[in-house]
Amino acid sequence: MDHSESSVSAATSALSGAGIGDPSPPAGRVTGEGEAASPAIDDRELARRLQQRDASALASLYRAYRRRAFGLAYRVLGDAPAAEDAVHAAFLALWERADRIDPDGGKLGALVLTVVHRRAVDLARSRARSQQREAPRSADGDDLDVDPSTGIPDERAQQAFARVLDDEEATRRRLSAALARLPEAQRAVVELAYFEGLTHRAIAERLGLPDGTVKSRLRLGLGHLRDALKTREEGA
C-alpha cells in the first residue's frame, strides 16, 4: 500500500519508453536514476513496431499518452477505476488491432485519444444501461459489451484529427475560447455529447427537447468550433 518515493519513480520510469529505434538493452545498473528526457517519439516508427507486435512499443505508447488518455477518460466517466478500465481497453484495442493503424496518419496521440474517448463513452453508456435495468449497485464490468476491434477510426479520420494536434496549445486555446463563446443552448449539448457520452437521443430526453433540435444544435455548435479552428489556419 505504501510506496517509498524511490519505488514510485522507479516503476514510473520502468514504463517510460525511451529508446525508440534503439533496441539495445538498458545498461544494467545505470538505469533507474537520472533518466534522461526521453527522445521525441517518432510516431511512424512506433506504429511500425506496434504492427510488429513489439510489446515495448506498447509500453512507449502508454508512457507517452497515459496522462492525457486517463485525463480524458476521467472527464467522461468521473471515476478513476472506470477511467482506468477505459484506458486499458483502448490501449489494448490499439495493440490488438495495430494493423489498422495508418503509419502515415500523423500523431498517434490523436488516435489514442479517439479510441480512449470511444471506450469511455461505451463504458459510460453501458453503465447507465445497467443502472436503468436494475437497482444501482457496483458495476463490475460484466455488462460491458465492447468489441475490442471497434473504435479505431478509418485512415481519413486519423489524418484529419492528427492535423488539429499539430499545434496542441493553439488548438486548446481556441477551442476553449470558442466553446465559451457558443450560445448556451449549443454549448450544453456539445458538452453533454462529448464529455458525458450521451447520445443525441439521451440529450433530448435529458433536456426535454425534440431530438431534431438537439441534432441541429450539435451541428451548429460543432460548426462554430470548427470555424474557430479554421481561423487559426488562415490567420497565421
Among residue numbers 28 through 57, which ones bind other proteins (CB under 8 A)? 28-29, 31-33, 35, 38, 52-56
> How many residues make contact with other proteins (CB under 8 A)?
112
The one-letter amino acid code at 45 reads E
Rounded (10°) CA dihedral 186, 188, 194, 195: 160
Nearer residue to other proteins within complex by CB, 3 or 44: 3
Q: Are 158 and 105 in contact (CB under 8 A)?
A: yes
Residue 114 C-beta: closest distance to other proteins, Å: 6
Looking at the Cβ atoms of 22 and 184, the one nearer to other proteins is 22
- Closest contact distance (angstroms) between CB of 101 and other proteins is 15
Using left for φ > 0, alpha for ψ between -120 and 50, and beta otherwise, residue 19 falls in left
When asked if residue 179 is in the footprint of other proteins (CB under 8 A), the reply is yes
- One-character DSSP codes across 177-222: HHHHHS-HHHHHHHHHHHHH---HHHHHHHHT--HHHHHHHHHHHH
Q: Does 8 bind other proteins (CB under 8 A)?
A: yes
Which of 55/184 has CB closer to other proteins? Answer: 55
With binding defined as CB under 8 A, does residue 204 bind other proteins?
A: no
Q: Is 193 in the site for other proteins (CB under 8 A)?
A: yes
Q: How far is the CB of 192 from other proteins (least distance, A)?
A: 8
DSSP state of 139: -
Q: Using CB under 8 A, which of 44, 78, 79, 80 touches other proteins?
A: 80
Could you say which of 11, 104, 129, 205 contacts other proteins (CB under 8 A)? 11
From the list 173, 208, 172, the residue with the least C-alpha distance to 189 is 208
Q: What is the nearest approach in angstroms of other proteins to the Cβ of residue 236? A: 18
The backbone region for 201, taken as left when phi is positive above 0, alpha when psi lies in -120 to 50, beta otherwise, is: alpha
106 counts as binding other proteins under rule CB under 8 A: no
Least separation in angstroms between residue 126's CB and other proteins is 11
Cell 485525463 sits at which residue? Answer: 71
